[in-house]
A and B are shown apart, each in its own frame.
Chain A
Amino acid sequence: MSLFEFYETASPLHRLNPMAKFLGVVIVMAGATLYFDPFVPATLAAGLILTLWILGRVPLNRLTRWMIPVVGLGLPLAIFNALYYDVSRIAHPTVIGRFGLWLITAEGAWAGAGLGVRVACFIAASMFFVVTTDPTDFALSLIQQAHLPYRFGYGVLVSYRFLPLLRAEFDTIRAAHRVRGVGERAGLRGRLEQLRRYAIPLLAGAIRHSERTALAMDSKAFGAGPGRTYRRNLRVRASDWAFVIGALVFTITVVAMLGRLGLADLQLIPAS
């Protein structure tokens, strides 16, 4: 399943230089990393999603659909951490209740919620970036702003093209094996065996495909000289700086206000 995909539209967020957008998102994620309470990452994530909706002009129904992986990965993590919280570290755990074999404590629920919301915030942040960034612009900005070697930048672009093809290939192989009478097997051993069977034709196809692409690129003089020109040159504009500064101001404001309310739990060195 592809989690998020680029949503093509014209919006202030789409027009940003990808590197500036990346920097802004990293600042917000850094805020979420340092705080172990659920409130800071929750507020930061809400800010990201709201910005994506208003400034990114992403329709609400899409946004709702993309919230599934955000919540879907954060929530189970929160529950598991709450259930398996190591109570032995605490002298007097506050027991809220029991759930079968599990002891549910306030400390566990707090830590679980903190972790779950943080992960959800990271996923929301990557959604923010992926949904509003044209892959071609991203590759160009890696080369032109981040000064990565152009071979690497184009590698990113080629793999972006490659993934849907690989997925289609996987579906075809699966169907082809079903016709052979290969049942989809349950159990760990069956699954491993199945994976091995799919892997060989999939890898053979992938290697052949990438070799063909590499030959086609080489035959168009890719990598032949020390440099190349670019039809489009991405620039860093005032709006890009405004976005980075905005992200910084937003993060600091959230942290400061929640800190004042006593809801922020800053841990530079995590306790566990």
Chain B
Amino acid sequence: MVLLLGPSGSGKSTLALALNGLIPHGLAVEMDGRVVVRGRDTREMQPGEIAALVGTVFQDPEAQFCTLTVEDEIAFGLENLRTPPAEMGAHIDEALAVVGLNGFRGRRLDRLSGGEKQRLALACILAMRPPIIVLDEPTANLDPLGTREFFAALAPLRGRHILILIEHKLDECAHLADRALVLGPNGSLIADGAPRAVFADHAAALDEFGVWIPQVTEFALSLGLRDHLPLTVAEAAQRFNSPHGLSTKAQGHEDTKKNNPGDLVPSCLGVDRAGIESRSALGISHLSFSYPASPPALRDVSLRIPAGTFAALVGPNGSGKSTLAALAMSLQPPPRGTAHLFERDVRDLSFAEIAGCAGYVFQNPEHQFVADTVADELAYSLRVRRRSPDEITRIVENLLDRFDLAELAAANPFTLSQGQKRRLSVATMLAVGQRLLILDEPTFGQDRRGAARLMALLRDLHRDGATILFITHDMRLVSEHAGTATALAEGRAIFSGPPADLFTRPDILAAARLTLPPMVELAQPRSSVVSPPN
């Protein structure tokens, strides 16, 4: 198994497309040089021949299927390879067994979870029996347990297939790899070797370019270790040779001191700053909600987020996290008396009032862009509110500066990089002085540098007194940033409290399909460590 690493925009996915022959056969792009698969130049092969040798699992579980049921989807590739229909059944059953989806043959694709879909995507490729499988961020959309299950299905395939894996979540998979390749920001190869050696010898470059590495490895490097770097929690525990791991504690950094007031607008809903800070920013009481003709999305959820909290909302896909956020923002009107923003029932607030005191950053930043330039994007909600031109200029310049977007003021939002788009979408949500910011997977698809930068910005906002609620699958973010965490499972809030307490509750973690962040696992007594698949 080969790991392919690099910051966003370094060309990992492009390389993946060149390996499976879609470049140059499927996409009209120019390609110099050669890609040789099993001794043959891909330019001289037929697309069908390459597909029989190199299979690809893509990132987006929704976009890589073209039929409606599990068996049709697996059969699709076999049909393309002109497999006789009589042989297909055996191929399908075998592939499903390998990925742990026995009994799923007749299921409809729209009834599968994200994790099941990705394992199906792997089964589709396995059924075609290619010697080489390329996986382009296959776990990006999965919850923590789904990620672990995916790698558990992948691990035994080593030796039978050459696996080329592009992945950000290295905690679960770095130890499975024999070799790591690192692409630099300009698309050139900067490192090639065994993962352990690459992480040790190129630590500075990986850090500078924002390449994700396993958390325990990062920790060992920060302690100045270079030899025998640990890649997994078990290795780290052994390396540090202590019966109870290290004495690092899972710490939520709850900054309660607010001695650095920002100059963003100091009031909302007609309440001054001091008044706001003594209130609860978000209050949910006995909220139940169902979409038409669907099972309940939320069941009797109660939750209080005091102003000035840095809070995380976790749980599997479909557990009601986004629904809860949408109801809090009144994007779906909640039943009267169940959702309060700064202690006012959202049903009593106009949409302008809600949008004035609470911002909601959607998962895909592009969804929220409404203007043609970055500066207009930031000015938009101020113009809607008829603020004076002087004030607009002042606030826009402040935001451009603070979010490091000044040079891009005249650029079209759609042309920005992933990290820039994300920063812009957060900045737009602060323009009118919102005091509560809800973010849906803010670090999704970001490289290490982009994610770190964004979280630093959120920390600054929090220090200035803003309340932050972020939805995430990344347990590391929860342990490093959140003061409180709420876990949802099947529409119920099954936990609310400090992350350190959440991490001591295996029952809650299992029900919400969460895993422990590696550093927390390392800090726990050895006996409770569950090793990832070997």
Interface size (A, Cβ < 8 Å)?
A: 47
Interface size (B, Cβ < 8 Å)?
A: 68
A204 CA / B369 CA spacing, docked (Å): 12
Which residues on the A side are within 8 Å of B381 (C-beta)? 180-181
Task: Provide the A193-223 mask, 1 if CB < 8 A to any CB of B, else 0.
Answer: 0000100110011000100111111111111
A219 touches B20 (CB 8 A): yes
Contacting B at CB under 8 A, from A179-193, are 179-183
Which residues on the A side are within 8 Å of B384 (C-beta)? 181-183
**Among the listed B27, B48, B85, B329, which residue makes an inter-chain contact with A225, where contact means beta carbons less than 8 Å apart?**
B48
**Distance in Å: Cβ of B8 to nearest Cβ of chain A:** 16
Task: Provide the B45-60 mask, 1 if CB < 8 A to any CB of A, else 0.
Answer: 0111101101110101
A209 CA / B56 CA spacing, docked (Å): 17
A157 CA / B64 CA spacing, docked (Å): 13
Task: Provide the B16-39 mask, 1 if CB < 8 A to any CB of A, else 0.
Answer: 010010100111000000000000
A233 at the interface (CB under 8 A from B): yes
**Distance in Å: Cβ of A68 to nearest Cβ of chain B:** 15
A231 touches B368 (CB 8 A): no
Main secondary structure of the interface of A (DSSP, over half): helix
A181 touches B80 (CB 8 A): no
**Distance in Å: Cβ of B119 to nearest Cβ of chain A:** 15
Which residues on the A side are within 8 Å of B67 (C-beta)? 136, 157, 161
A176 CA / B455 CA spacing, docked (Å): 22
Q: A172-B367, A173-B367, A233-B85 are in contact. Are A224 and B80 (CB under 8 A)?
A: yes
Which residues on the B side are within 8 Å of A154 (C-beta)? 66
Which residues on the B side are within 8 Å of A177 (C-beta)? 367-368, 370
**Distance in Å: Cβ of A228 to nearest Cβ of chain B:** 5
Contacting A at CB under 8 A, from B79-117, are 79-85, 88, 109-110
Kindly specify which of B139-147, B233-241, B358-366 makes contact with the partner chain: B358-366
Which residues on the B side are within 8 Å of A257 (C-beta)? none
Contacting A at CB under 8 A, from B422-436, are 428-429, 432
A2 at the interface (CB under 8 A from B): no
**Among the listed B71, B366, B370, which residue makes an inter-chain contact with A205, where contact means beta carbons less than 8 Å apart?**
B366
A227 at the interface (CB under 8 A from B): yes
Which residues on the B side are within 8 Å of A209 (C-beta)? 60, 62-63
Q: A161-B68, A181-B385, A222-B80 are in contact. Are A231 and B56 (CB under 8 A)?
A: no
B77 touches A220 (CB 8 A): yes
**Distance in Å: Cβ of A158 to nearest Cβ of chain B:** 5
Q: A219-B22, A228-B79 are in contact. Are A180 and B62 (CB under 8 A)?
A: no
Which residues on the B side are within 8 Å of A152 (C-beta)? none
A167 at the interface (CB under 8 A from B): no
Q: A218-B26, A218-B47 are in contact. Are A213 and B66 (CB under 8 A)?
A: yes
A197 CA / B372 CA spacing, docked (Å): 10
Contacting A at CB under 8 A, from B213-257, are none
B395 at the interface (CB under 8 A from A): no
Which residues on the A side are within 8 Å of B342 (C-beta)? none
Q: A212-B58, A212-B60, A221-B80 are in contact. Are A180 and B380 (CB under 8 A)?
A: yes
B65 at the interface (CB under 8 A from A): yes
Closest residue of chain A to B358, judged by CB?
A179
**Distance in Å: Cβ of B314 to nearest Cβ of chain A:** 21
**Among the listed A136, A158, A230, which residue makes an inter-chain contact with B69, where contact means beta carbons less than 8 Å apart?**
A136
A178 at the interface (CB under 8 A from B): yes
Q: A215-B17, A224-B48 are in contact. Are A230 and B79 (CB under 8 A)?
A: yes
A54 at the interface (CB under 8 A from B): no
Q: A220-B55, A221-B51, A228-B80 are in contact. Are A176 and B128 (CB under 8 A)?
A: no
**Among the listed A182, A215, A225, A229, which residue makes an inter-chain contact with B370, where contact means beta carbons less than 8 Å apart?**
A182
A175 at the interface (CB under 8 A from B): yes
A229 touches B79 (CB 8 A): yes
A178 touches B82 (CB 8 A): no
Which residues on the B side are within 8 Å of A221 (C-beta)? 47-48, 51-52, 77, 80-81, 128
Which residues on the B side are within 8 Å of A201 (C-beta)? 366-367, 369
Chain B CB within 10 Å — which of A136, A218, A233 has the most? Answer: A218
B414 at the interface (CB under 8 A from A): yes
B72 touches A231 (CB 8 A): yes
A80 at the interface (CB under 8 A from B): no
A165 at the interface (CB under 8 A from B): yes
**Distance in Å: Cβ of B121 to nearest Cβ of chain A:** 8
Chain B CB within 10 Å — which of A180, A212, A228 has the most? Answer: A180
Which residues on the B side are within 8 Å of A164 (C-beta)? 110
Q: A181-B384, A204-B366 are in contact. Are A213 and B63 (CB under 8 A)?
A: yes
Closest residue of chain B to A194, judged by CB?
B370
**Among the listed B64, B68, B71, B82, which residue makes an inter-chain contact with A135, where contact means beta carbons less than 8 Å apart?**
B68
Task: Provide the A142-163 mask, 1 if CB < 8 A to any CB of B, else 0.
Answer: 0000000000001001101100
**Among the listed A161, A173, A215, A230, which residue makes an inter-chain contact with B85, where contact means beta carbons less than 8 Å apart?**
A230
A135 CA / B67 CA spacing, docked (Å): 9
A177 CA / B429 CA spacing, docked (Å): 11
A172 touches B80 (CB 8 A): no
B326 touches A220 (CB 8 A): no
Which residues on the A side are within 8 Å of B329 (C-beta)? 179
A179 touches B368 (CB 8 A): yes
**Among the listed B66, B364, B367, B429, which residue makes an inter-chain contact with A217, where contact means beta carbons less than 8 Å apart?**
B66
A161 touches B66 (CB 8 A): yes
**Among the listed B25, B125, B351, B356, which residue makes an inter-chain contact with A178, where contact means beta carbons less than 8 Å apart?**
B351
**Distance in Å: Cβ of B180 to nearest Cβ of chain A:** 24
B76 at the interface (CB under 8 A from A): yes
A216 CA / B82 CA spacing, docked (Å): 18
A157 CA / B72 CA spacing, docked (Å): 11
**Distance in Å: Cβ of B435 to nearest Cβ of chain A:** 15
A194 CA / B473 CA spacing, docked (Å): 33
Q: Pull 21 A–B residue pairs with CB atoms less than 8 Å apart, ordered by A.
A: A136-B68, A160-B68, A161-B109, A176-B368, A177-B367, A179-B359, A205-B364, A205-B366, A205-B367, A212-B63, A212-B64, A213-B64, A218-B25, A218-B51, A219-B51, A222-B76, A224-B46, A225-B46, A229-B82, A231-B85, A233-B85
8 nearest A-B residue pairs (beta carbon) = A224-B48, A221-B51, A216-B64, A212-B63, A220-B77, A176-B367, A221-B80, A231-B75
Beyond the given A222-B76, A229-B78, A229-B85, could you list 15 further A-B residue pairs with CB under 8 A, ordered by the A residue number?
Answer: A136-B68, A136-B69, A136-B72, A175-B331, A177-B368, A177-B370, A179-B331, A181-B381, A218-B22, A219-B51, A220-B76, A220-B125, A222-B80, A224-B80, A231-B75
